[in-house]
């Protein structure tokens, strides 16, 4: 039902919570970890399902101030990549980047197939049942091996867990931030 890419950065928002006009929106794709070796490489802990886009020549942005860096080289597999930047040539320099979040511009995200959504498109959506009764707002998406689970918080603070499967998630309208669902009956 959904595809994960990362969380939106909300550092520069207007009063309505939207990005300031003209300012790009950024999506977190990972967090820099420990230095790797002595030549200025660093481990990137991935928070994206699209690590194949983080390749040589790709522009990324580091930290809350979104400092631009270009990837010189990238290698690895699984949940980590080892990155090298042309500006950084030793372990001491790259260690200063440890724990910074890595962002890409939202407008550079790849298009998804029909019926697939980025997590940042779903978080914040109002969730209604088929009778248009508000169940709450989607606040978190939990990944499981079988399917994602949507955590919906009601106005009274109650939480509803919805499996992200076609029998439960009936319709998604990201443009209007609205999801129609048939909550399962738990016995």
| Predicted confidence (pLDDT) at residue 10 exceeds the cutoff of 70 | no
**Closest to 105 in 3D by CA, of 37, 24, 160:** 24
Residue 4: is its pLDDT beyond 50? no
Beta bridge mates, 76: 81
Percent of residues, the chain, with pLDDT higher than 70 = 87
C-alpha triplet 70, 72, 77: angle, nearest 5°: 105
For residues 64 and 160, give the distance between their C-alpha atoms in angstroms, rounded to a whole number: 32
- pLDDT(14) > 60: no
62-65: long-range contacts, CB 8 A cutoff, minimum separation 24: 62/32, 62/97, 62/100, 62/101, 62/102, 62/103, 63/100, 63/101, 64/9, 64/11, 64/101
Give the sign of the dihedral formed by CA 143, CA 12, CA 112, CA 58.
Answer: negative
Q: Check pLDDT > 60 for residue 12.
A: no
- If you ran DSSP here, which 8-state letter would residue 8 be given? B
* pLDDT reading at 3 higher than 70: no
The whole-angstrom separation of Cα 156 and Cα 140 is 17
Q: Mean pLDDT across the stretch 51-67? A: 94
Residue 23 pLDDT: 56
- Candidates 90, 105, 91, 96; CA nearest to 26 is 105
Residue-wise pLDDT for 127-183, tens only, equals 999 999 999 999 999 989 899 999 999 999 999 999 999 999 999 999 999 999 999
> With 60 as the cut, is the pLDDT of residue 97 above it?
yes
pLDDT tens readout for residues 35-55:
999 999 999 999 988 888 899
SS3 category, 93: helix
Confidence of residue 13 (pLDDT cuts 50, 70, 90): very low
Q: Sign of dihedral through CA atoms 136, 141, 143, 146?
A: positive
Q: What is the mean pLDDT of residues 26-41?
A: 95
Which pLDDT score is estimated for 7?
39
d(CA 150, CA 7): 15
């Amino acid at each position: 039902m959904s595809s994960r890419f990362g969380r939106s950065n909300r550092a520069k928002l207007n009063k309505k919570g939207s990005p300031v006009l003209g300012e790009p929106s950024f999506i977190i794709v990972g967090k820099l970890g420990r230095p790797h070796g002595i030549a200025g490489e660093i481990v990137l802990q991935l928070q994206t399902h699209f690590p194949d886009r983080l390749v040589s020549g790709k522009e990324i942005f580091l930290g809350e101030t979104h400092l631009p860096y270009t990837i010189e080289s990238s290698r690895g597999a699984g949940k980590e990549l080892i990155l090298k930047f042309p500006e950084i040539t030793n372990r001491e320099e790259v260690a200063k980047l440890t724990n910074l979040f890595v962002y890409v511009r939202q407008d550079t995200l790849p298009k998804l197939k029909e019926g697939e959504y980025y997590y940042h498109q779903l978080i914040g959506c109002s969730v209604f049942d088929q009778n248009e009764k508000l169940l709450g707002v989607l606040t978190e998406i939990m990944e499981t091996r079988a399917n994602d689970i949507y955590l919906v918080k009601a106005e009274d603070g109650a939480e509803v867990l919805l499996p992200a499967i076609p029998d439960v998630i009936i319709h998604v309208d990201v443009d209007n931030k609205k999801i129609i669902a048939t909550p399962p009956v738990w016995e």
